[in-house]
Amino acid sequence: MSHDLIQNTMQELKGRSTPTESREFPMTDADFQRLSQLAHNYTGIVLGAHKRDMVYGRLARRIRALGLRDFNAYCDLLDTPGSGELSGFINSITTNLTSFFRERHHFDFLRDRALPEVKQRNAHSKKLRIWSAGCSTGEEPYSLSITVNEVMDTQRWDCKILATDLDSNVLSHGSNGVYDIQRIETVDMAQRQRWFFKDASGETVKVKPAIQKTISFKRLNLIEDWPMKGPFDIIFCRNVVIYFNKDTQRQLFDRFADILVDGGYLCIGHSETLNRVTDRFKALGHTIYQKI
């Protein structure tokens, strides 16, 4: 079974609920509406009716941990200023499926076209700036960093990868850089040996400092203000906007265009498109776009 499939199944289990009649905590339509509204307001994520069981499964755990009696009490807690539960809520509703070198063609494109172009374009400044927006547990920015370290002369070039996510749990996993050994099965054997240390038990690996030092992990909500000015040469925002509505997507892609250099590249997820969302990018195929 592929890792994407395994992780997909685990995400499904993370959201699985028991049948309505045997549920531990009552959740009314009004409760679900309140939670969907909150999710949309804070994250841009749309929780449609088909996500109701998933929401139940993920939040029932919070309700149990907090010792609350039902979803109504949980919604009240979220509405209480200073309750501190908002991050628990956000971390519960995000879907973090990812893998090393997921959608490998994007990394091939970087190696064969985008990075050689940056070498020429920025030959004077010797700077490379990449943003992994919605980086989850770090597999995407580390795959970017491996590619950058194999193509660029990182001794002479100032190469930086900004890795951001809304979910604080996934960010700490990413910045630790420790993964179960099965997670690197999608990495070529030579790259596994070059860029990862195995621990004594052989069950986990840690990324080597060379690929870690290129990356800064930061918490950032894509629908809020961004503290950085850019410009970026390349942005990866993959499998993130799939959870947003078209208006939120339009605003986000417009802001990506503003913060990219002219001719910069944007890679999005396999089921996402800019078609009829924005005309500020030219489609190069395989979910790769170039800022016009």
Ligand X SMILES: C[S@@+](CC[C@H](N)C(=O)[O-])C[C@H]1O[C@@H](n2cnc3c(N)ncnc32)[C@H](O)[C@@H]1O
- As given in the structure block, the two tokens for residue 95 are 């879907």
Cβ at position 74, least distance to ligand X in Å: 20
Question: Which amino acid, one-letter code, is at 258?
Answer: D
Are the beta carbons of 29 and 80 closer than 8 angstroms?
no
Q: Which one of residues 136, 212, 249, 287 is an interface residue with ligand X (CB under 6 A)?
A: 136
Cβ at position 229, least distance to ligand X in Å: 18
Q: Is 144 in the site for ligand X (CB under 6 A)?
A: no
Cβ at position 197, least distance to ligand X in Å: 23
Catalytic positions are 58, 165
Q: How far is the C-alpha of 272 from the C-alpha of 238, rounded, in Å?
A: 8
Q: Which one of residues 191, 212, 239, 249 is an interface residue with ligand X (CB under 6 A)?
A: 239
Q: Is 11 in the site for ligand X (CB under 6 A)?
A: no
Given the complex with ligand X, which of 136 and 149 has the nearer CB atom? 136
Cβ at position 107, least distance to ligand X in Å: 12
Q: Which one of residues 73, 78, 97, 181 is an interface residue with ligand X (CB under 6 A)?
A: 97
130 contacts: CB under 8 Å, gap ≥ 6:
144, 148, 159, 160, 161, 162, 232, 233, 234, 235, 236
Q: Is 238 in the site for ligand X (CB under 6 A)?
A: yes
Quickly list DSSP for 73-142. HHHHHHHSTT---HHHHHHHH------TTSSTHHHHHIIIIIHHHHHHHTTTT-EEEEEEES-TTTHHHH
Q: Is 249 in the site for ligand X (CB under 6 A)?
A: no
Q: Please report, for residues 96, 134, 189, the alpha-carbon distance to residue 1 in angstroms, rounded to integers and kept in the order given.
A: 19, 25, 19
Q: Is 223 in the site for ligand X (CB under 6 A)?
A: yes
209 contacts: CB under 8 Å, gap ≥ 6:
none
Stretch that binds ligand X, among 122-130, 175-183, 232-240, 256-264 (CB under 6 A): 232-240
My answer on whether omega of the bond before 231 falls inside 30° of 0, hence cis, is: yes
SS3 annotation, 182-230: HHHHHCCHHHHHHHEEECCCCCEEEECHHHHCCEEEEECCCCCCCCCCC
Q: Is 214 in the site for ligand X (CB under 6 A)?
A: no
Q: Is 272 in the site for ligand X (CB under 6 A)?
A: no
Cβ at position 204, least distance to ligand X in Å: 20
Cβ at position 19, least distance to ligand X in Å: 28
Stretch that binds ligand X, among 27-35, 75-83, 116-124, 221-229 (CB under 6 A): 221-229
Q: Which one of residues 17, 47, 60, 140 is an interface residue with ligand X (CB under 6 A)?
A: 140
Q: Provide the binding-site residues for ligand X, judged by CB under 6 A.
A: 43-45, 94-98, 102, 134, 136, 140, 165-167, 170, 221-223, 238-240, 243, 269
